[in-house]
Each structure stands twice: as C-alpha cells, then as structure tokens.
Structure 1
Amino acid sequence: MMMQTNTQFPSNLIQLLNNSQYMKKTEKGTFLFQEDELANELFVIISGKVQISKMIPDGRELTIRMCKEGDLIGEVPLFDQPQKYMLNAKVIENGQVAVFDKQELEKKLGENHQLALEFMKWLNHQYRKNQTKFRDLVLNGKKGALYSTLIRLSNSYGEPCEKGIFITIPITNQELANFCGTSREVVNRMLSELRKQNIITIDKSYITIHDLNYLKVEIDCENCPIEICNID
C-alpha cells in the first residue's frame, strides 16, 4: 500500500518507508506508545489523528503535537542503544498507521547515505518545530503560550471567513490548557478576556479568530514559516 504524506516529508523517504512497513488500525482512546515503553518502532499516520503529550510531575498533561495524515511519530534514537519513549502517543480519531521497525530502518539508512542525509534533515526540521513551541512556553508565559497556540491552530486548521479565521476542528478549553501546560481555569480566564475584546469568539468548541494580528503583536511574533509554526 502506498502512503500519501504531506509535502514536508521527502519523497525518497516515502519510498523507503513504503518498502519497510506493515499496517495497523488505530482506535480512539488507545495508545501507539507510552512513556517508559521500549522505543523500537516508528509510525506514519495514514488516517486519523494522534496526540503527542508529556506528563508533567505535578500530574498535568502537556500536549506537544496534534498529528494527522502524513506525520511521522516516535522518538526512536537511531544507531544507539535501546531507549525508552519519552512521550505518549494517544489516538484521538480512529484511523490507520504504518509501522516501521527501528533495526530495519537503521539497516536501510546505513545502506543508502543519501537517504540517511534526507532523514537527518527531516529530523532537524522537527527539532526546530519543537524548539519554537518550548520557546513560546518558556519566554512568553501562560498568555504567550495560549496566544501562540491559537496562532498555530490558525496555521494548521484555519480557514478565512467573513469574520476572520475559522478553526475547522473543535477544541475544548481543557485541550487548550494542555497545549499551554497550565490549568483549564487559567485558560478560561484568558479566553474570556479575549472574547470581551472581540479578538475571538467560541461557538460549541469552534473558535473564530477576528484579530490574528493582535495575538501576534502581544507575543512579539517572529512570523516563522508556517511549516514551522503549526500545531502538528
């Protein structure tokens, strides 16, 4: 079965993975992997959605990524001693994934240096994306974390509409709080303030952003490329 992926994933790596995979159905509420399990497989999402998260010592959950079709997930350190997963991958929408064995992938990359280079470039791209997310959390505080999350949502799932940008997926206040590494109560207050200022409106968990520039100015947005500034 040939997979379809987003344009961020190099075409020659797609061919490599197509030759190394088996398919697995995924059900909402289950995990592809969890923290402290042995990391010996990578996954490419064929359909559905998967949430990547980290449990904070105080019991809160920090959502790192919300992955969809074409995304590669699994923090497997290649060409290294066996390691454990540091994050959780929870299925939030039924679908299917392609599964790749760590040793088989190492073998193929070792045989083809050009593919290995492409894979390293792709991993570096993922590192940059994660680095900017943690920058927003650390440097801009809780407000900056929420505002940057809304900006990323607009880049990933936003559609222009008469009143601004409509986020096409529903997202709860608790889910926003998880992206920000804070409590739902804190997010409730910040969202309420944004609604009072008519920066956003929320209807049945669907958000419309009326003034995206306000959010960017408030956090001194660096206008990173959309392929870096997204929620995936």
Structure 2
Amino acid sequence: MDPEPGEFLSLLSPDDAAALRAAGRPKRWDRGDSVMGEGDRGGWALVLMEGRVKVSSHTSSGTEVVLAVRGPGALLGEMSAIDGSPRSATVTALEPIAGVVIGDFPAFLQAHGRIAVLLMQLVTAKLRDSDRKRIEYGAFDTTGRVATRLIEMAERYGEKTNGGLRVALPLSQDELAGWTGASREAVSKALRTLRDRGLIETGRRRVVIHDLEGLRKRAR
C-alpha cells in the first residue's frame, strides 16, 4: 500500500526507505489490538505500512480523547524512542495493520543523518497541526469541528462515487466524539444537522459527502 502524502515514509528516497525496512522487522496486528500503550517505555518505533490506527489519550476522569487517525507511511512512537520518556498516547489498530518495527530507533537515526533531518521536519509539522486543532476547539462549534474531521478523512481516504465522496470510517461515534472534543450526543446532533442540510449521508461506519465545498463552508 502506498504511503499517504506527508507521512514519514512518503518523505524518504527509495534508498532511505529500503534502509529503514532492512533495519527493522515486519509485524502485524489485528483490529482492536493495542500497538503502544500510554505510559509504556520503549526504544522502538513503528512505521505503518498497511491499515489505519487511532492515537488517543485518556483524561483523569477516564474519557478517551482521540488525537489523530494515522494511515500507511506514518511513523509512530518516535518521541519516546528518542528521549526515553513514557509514551504520551496509546496507539490502537482500527483495522488489521502491518508495519516495520525499528528496535533501536536512535541508533538508526545516528546512522542515517538525512532521515534524522526529515524527522525534524515531520515533528515540526505535527506541532503545527496540534496548534491548529487547539485553535479549532476554541473557535468552532461542535458541528464545525465534526465537519472539519470529515473533510480531513475525505481528503485522505475518500473514494469517488456517483453520489459524492464515500469515506469508510473506522471510528465509532464515541471515537469521533473523542476526536472532536465533544460528547457523543453533541456529535450525533452535528451529524444530523449536516444530513438535514444535504451535505452528507451516514451509514454504519461510513459517510458519503454529497457537497464537499458546502461542508468546508460549514467548517469555517
């Protein structure tokens, strides 16, 4: 499966990608498996080759907050692998996934300086994305945040159909709520609002976006 644009693997040259695969070992997980746990320690990192995962954390009250959905090409666990700190989030397989585990990630980076520079660029992009999401939470209502997440999924995973863009969502409504920083009831109401406006159609773990531009306007 080709890496998603902007993900770590898509930034590497063919030679760098081959060196990464040679330095690691392949591993698979089933849907629902925990790939990494919040608070765990480990010097290894994972490059996702197939499938999608959710990156999440839990508040002190036990509420799950979904931080991101990552797909093929994503680099996971790199920060903890580099500085030795406990992992800051849990990574869970949303569907069967396959990846390459880099057992000693710091040593790999020391031996491949160009890849280390690309990693710094990637970390910077993640920080910018985190800042953007914090602004969204303060400036957008729940419907706007839900619309923004649906647009993100459509741009990354949307498949053209006669009715628009079909997105197979690996997330439940509870997980979508955790990704938008809202309650399940508020997300359900937001989806109903978007349906009533004719912007989307929903089904079990899928959404068809009939009017992407209209959804972008609502997100703003």
TM-score (norm 1): 0.81
Instruction: Report the residue type matching 1:140 in the other structure.
Output: F
Q: Distance in 2 between matches of 1:121 and 1:62?
A: 25
Code of the residue aligned with 1:5 in structure 2: it is: P
Show the counterpart of 1:228: none
- Give 1:20 shift: 1.5
* 2:3 alignment counterpart: 5
Work out the CA distance in 1 between the residues paired with 2:38 and 2:165: 36
CA distance in 2, matches of 1:158, 1:5: 15
Cα deviation, residue 75, structure 1: 4.4
Q: Identify which range, 151-160 or 105-114, moves more after superposition.
A: 105-114
Are 1:27 and 2:30 an aligned pair?
yes
Bigger CA drift: 148-157 or 195-204? 195-204
Unmatched segments (≥5 aa) in structure 2: none
Q: Which amino acid aligns with 1:217?
A: K
Partner of 1:94: 96
What's the secondary structure of 2:31's corresponding residue?
coil
For 1:92 and 1:180, the matched residues in 2 are separated by 17
Structure 2 residue aligned with 1:83: 85
Cα distance between partner residues in 2 of 1:179 and 1:194:
17
Unaligned runs of 5+ in 1: 221-232
d(CA) in 1 for partners of 2:94 and 2:82? 31
Distance change in 2, residues 1:59/1:25 (3 Å): same
RMSD after superposition? 2.4
Shift of 1:154: 1.1
Looking at structure 1, the residues matched to 32 and 126 of structure 2 have their Cα atoms a distance apart, in angstroms, of: 25
Q: Would you say 1:52 and 2:55 are equivalent positions?
A: yes
Could you tell me how far 1:88 is from its partner in structure 2?
0.4
Which residue is equivalent to 1:153? Answer: 153
Amino acid at match of 2:95: E
- Which whole-Å CA distance do the structure 1 matches of 2:123 and 2:47 have between them? 14
Cα offset for 1:24?
Answer: 1.9
Give the superposition deviation at 1:141: 3.4
Distance 1:161 1:213 in 2: 16
Look up the equivalent residue of 1:185 and give its one-letter code: E
In structure 2, distance between residues paired with 1:78 and 1:94: 24
d(CA) in 1 for partners of 2:70, 2:162: 28
Instruction: Count residues in correspondence.
Output: 215
Q: How much identity, in percent, do the aligned residues show?
A: 22
Aligned residue runs from structure 1 range 95-174, under 5 A: 95-101=97-103, 104-169=104-169, 171-174=171-174
Offset at residue 146 of structure 1 (A): 0.8
Runs of 4+ in 1 over 6 A off after TM superposition: none
Secondary structure of the structure 1 residue equivalent to 2:95 = strand
For the Cα contact (< 8 Å) 2:143–2:191, is it kept in 1?
no
Separation of aligned partners in 2, 1:111 and 1:75: 16
